[in-house]
Amino acid sequence: MHPLDGIKVLDLSRVLAGPWCTQTLADLGAEVWKIEEPTRGDDTRSWRPPEIDGESTYFMCCNRSKLSVAVDLRRPEGQKAVRELAAKADVLVENYRRGTLSRFGLDYEQLRELNPRLIYCSISGYGRTGSRADEAGYDFAIQAESGLMAITGEPDGTPMKHGVAITDIITGMNSVQSILAALIAREKTGEGQLIDASLFDSAVALLANVGSGYLQTQSPPKRYGNAHATVVPYQLFDTADGVLALAVGNDQQFRALCVQVLEDLELADDERYQKNRERVMNRETLIPHLAKHFRSRTTLDWIARLKRAGVPAGQVRSVPEVFNAPEIAERGLVSDVSDAKHGHVRLTTSPLRLMGTPVRMPEAPPRLGEHTQEVLQRELGMSDADLARLQSETQRT
């Protein structure tokens, strides 16, 4: 048994935020009908390299365990089919520009008449209300406009984006939380509802302690590179053969660092560094002193010493080193999944761990339109003639 067994999700989303959301719902056991344009499919099918045998690995990151249904929403027959699926769905997720789905008879108000229990999650760049509601949202621009880019990068360097499309991913995660809450609410009220999920909203909320610091003090935050604004020492240090990530989170850990790891009693007793506030205020003198220590031994030597002392630290790994690390297998974070074209593909698994109702083991991302016949015949009772007519209408477009 999976947590969302029996829940049906109509996925009208593309690229990353929406598909990340619906992939998580699929991991939790929902049946996800991914509606795709019949000739091109999801935009990310063409985002390559990297690729395997002409297929995008980007698409694979957020579409496992879904059913692909190729339907042309520009055509009346396609719109009719999707409306009928919406009447049977528990959840709909979409990320079209405002007004597009209303022209197809697929906006929330129109579908609520067909299915009052439908939970309709609408994902956009700037929300469905406000002066920017008609604008498209792109992760790179949102990172810039939300302040995330301004706090990322070296102090004297250029503002930097995150290494992945973080505002898309966090919006997908927020959307999942909202949908799960709406499913619980529906059990109480019997009614579905509209969810307005925004990349910009999610990104601003992601400022977390930095945002809170500004709101309370009106002091503009600085960039600290790989260091921490309010916890010291909490940054990278060069070692004799590499780089070490040190994360000293409290005063007790700092003393353990000085006494047990560095064997520097003078540093441990220095009043400038005994409390975190003082360490933050005096980082300019503390960090060079620590850097000199860390250059004297290898990374693994330091990590062994730090672990024995209970001081948090880690080695800076490359992506290949990560996926070859023993904890990947120990935690089951990668699965070899059967695939009709490739024989098998290696996919990351869901990070969610529910002991009583586990998540679904991943299934290969679908080929474009792979499940059109299966879903439309099972859910809508379409005949072969109906399917042929739907396909011929698409070909005339």
Element (H, E) at 86: helix 76-88
Per the CB < 8 A criterion, the answer to whether 72 and 78 are in contact is yes
Q: What is the pLDDT of residue 386?
A: 84
Contacts of 70 (CB under 8 A, 6+ apart): 36, 37, 38, 41, 368, 369, 372, 394
pLDDT band at 391 (very low <50, low <70, confident <90, very high): confident
Each domain of the chain, given as residue ranges in start order, spans 8-206+355-396, 234-315
pLDDT tens per residue, range 75-86 = 999 999 999 999
**Domain 234-315, CATH homologous superfamily name and number:** formyl-coa transferase, domain 3 (3.30.1540.10)
What architecture (CATH level 2) is domain 8-206+355-396? Answer: 3-Layer(aba) Sandwich (3.40)
- pLDDT value at 397 more than 60: no
pLDDT tens per residue, range 24-67 = 999 999 999 999 999 999 999 999 999 999 999 999 999 999 99
pLDDT band at 392 (very low <50, low <70, confident <90, very high): confident
Total-model pTM = 0.93
List the catalytic residue out of 11, 27, 42, 168: 168
- pLDDT value at 360 more than 80: yes
Q: What is the pLDDT of residue 394?
A: 62
Per the CB < 8 A criterion, the answer to whether 152 and 162 are in contact is yes
Q: What is the pLDDT of residue 120?
A: 98
Rg (CA), the chain: 25
Angular region, 50: left φ>0, alpha ψ -120 to 50, beta rest:
beta
Q: What is the pLDDT of residue 215?
A: 97
Strand partners, 346: 336
pLDDT band at 181 (very low <50, low <70, confident <90, very high): very high
171-198 average pLDDT score:
98
- Residue 33 identity: W
336 catalytic? Reply is: no
104-112 average pLDDT score:
96
81-110 average pLDDT score:
96
Q: What is the number of H-type helices and E-type strands within the chain?
A: 18, 13
Could you tell me which of 221, 272, 280, 270 has the C-alpha nearest to residue 248? 280
- For a pLDDT cut of 70, what percent of the chain falls above it? 99
Rounded Cα gap, residues 126 and 116, in angstroms: 26
pLDDT tens per residue, range 188-210 = 999 999 999 999 999 999 999 99
155-170 average pLDDT score:
96
Rounded Cα gap, residues 57 and 69, in angstroms: 20
